[in-house]
Amino acid sequence: MPDSKKSQETGARTPTRTEKVQQALRRAILEQRLTPGTRLPEDAIGEAFGASRTIAREALGRLATEGLVELIPNRGAFVANPSLEEGRGIFVIRAALERGMVRQLSGRIDAGTVERLTEMVEAETRLAEKSDVEAIRLAGEFHLYLASLTGNSLLQRYLVEIISRCSLVMTMYGRPHSADCGAREHREIVDALVAGDFTRAGDLMEQHVEDVAARAQLSVRPKTDVRQVLADFASRIGES
C-alpha cells in the first residue's frame, strides 16, 4: 500500500521535507554520529538531503529550539556542546517539571496508552542490550510521549527542549550500559500509572531523573565529517 494512502487511512500526517530533515539531523545528533561542537553548514545539509538551504535553515532553527543545535551569529550552526556541569543543572529543572507532568496525567491513562507505553519500554529494554545510544534516544521518546499526554502545550514545549538536551548530555557523558537501568525505572513508572498511584509515579519519576543524571562521566569525542555522516541519514529518508 502506498505511504500516502496508508497515511490517509490511519489519519497520520505525512512529514514535510523540513520535518524529515529535522528528524534525520536529530537522530544523527542523538546517535553521536554528529558530535557536539560540529559545525553544520546549510549547504552541506542541503546537498546531503537534496534539499534547499532554506529547508536546511528551517530544520536547524527547529533543532535550536529543542536545544540540540546552537546558532551563533556570523559563525553558523553547531551541534550543541553542553558541559557536564550544565547538563547536571538541566536535570535539576527536568526532575521538577517531570514530577509535575506525571501529576497532570491523572485520569489520562487509558488501556491504549498503557499498551503504547509498555511497547516503548519493551523496545527500550531490547535495545539497551545492543546499543546505549539507541536506548537513550528511545528513552527520550518515552518521556516526550508522556508530556504529549498532558495536553499542556506550554509544559510540553519546555519538556521538548529539556528532554532533548538531556538526551544529548547522556549520549555525551553517559556511562556504558546505563540505559538498561533507565528501562527498568520506566517500567516501574508505568506500573504506578496503571495502578492510579500518581503520587508514587511522581516520586519514581523524580528519582529516575536524578538517577539518570548520576549516570554520567566525561568522555573523549572524535571529530566528525558532516557530509559523510549525513549521506547515510539521507538514504534513510529516501527509503521512508
For the whole model, what pTM was predicted? 0.70
How would you write the pLDDT of the chain (240 residues) with one tens digit per residue? 444 444 444 455 788 999 999 999 998 998 878 989 999 999 999 999 999 999 999 999 999 998 899 999 999 999 999 988 888 888 999 999 999 999 888 778 899 999 999 999 999 888 877 777 778 888 888 999 999 999 889 998 899 889 888 888 888 887 665 556 788 999 999 999 988 898 999 999 999 998 888 876 534 445 667 777 777 777 777 665
Please calculate the CA angle 199-201-206 and round it to the nearest 5 degrees: 100
Enumerate long-range contacts of 90-96, CB under 8 Å, 24 or more apart: 90/162, 90/165, 90/166, 90/169, 91/166, 91/169, 91/209, 91/210, 91/212, 91/213, 92/213, 93/162, 94/159, 94/162, 94/163, 94/166, 94/209, 95/205, 95/206, 95/209, 95/210, 95/213, 96/206
How many Å is the Cα radius of gyration of the chain?
18
Q: Which residues pair with 216 in a beta bridge?
A: 174
Cell of 81: 556542546
pLDDT at 9: 47
Q: Where are the domains of the chain?
A: 3-81+222-239, 84-214
pLDDT at 113: 94
List all residues 6 or more positions away from 124 whose beta carbon is below 8 Å from its beta carbon.
135, 138, 139, 142, 179, 182, 183, 186
pLDDT at 125: 86
Q: Largest Cα–Cα distance in the chain?
A: 53
d(CA 221, CA 57): 26
Cell of 102: 506525571
Give the count of beta carbons closer than 10 Å to the beta carbon of residue 191.
Answer: 16
Cell of 178: 546505563
pLDDT at 116: 95
pLDDT at 84: 82
Cell of 17: 521535507
φ and ψ at 71, to 5 degrees?
Answer: -100, 115
d(CA 206, CA 98): 7
pLDDT at 37: 92
User: What is the b/e burial string over 221-236, where b = at least 16 CB atoms within 10 angstroms of the residue's CB?
Assistant: eeebebeebbeebbee
Q: Which of 90, 86, 32, 73 is nearest to 229 (CA)?
A: 32
| Fold observed for domain 84-214 | Four Helix Bundle (Hemerythrin (Met), subunit A) (1.20.120)
What CATH architecture is 3-81+222-239?
A: Orthogonal Bundle (1.10)
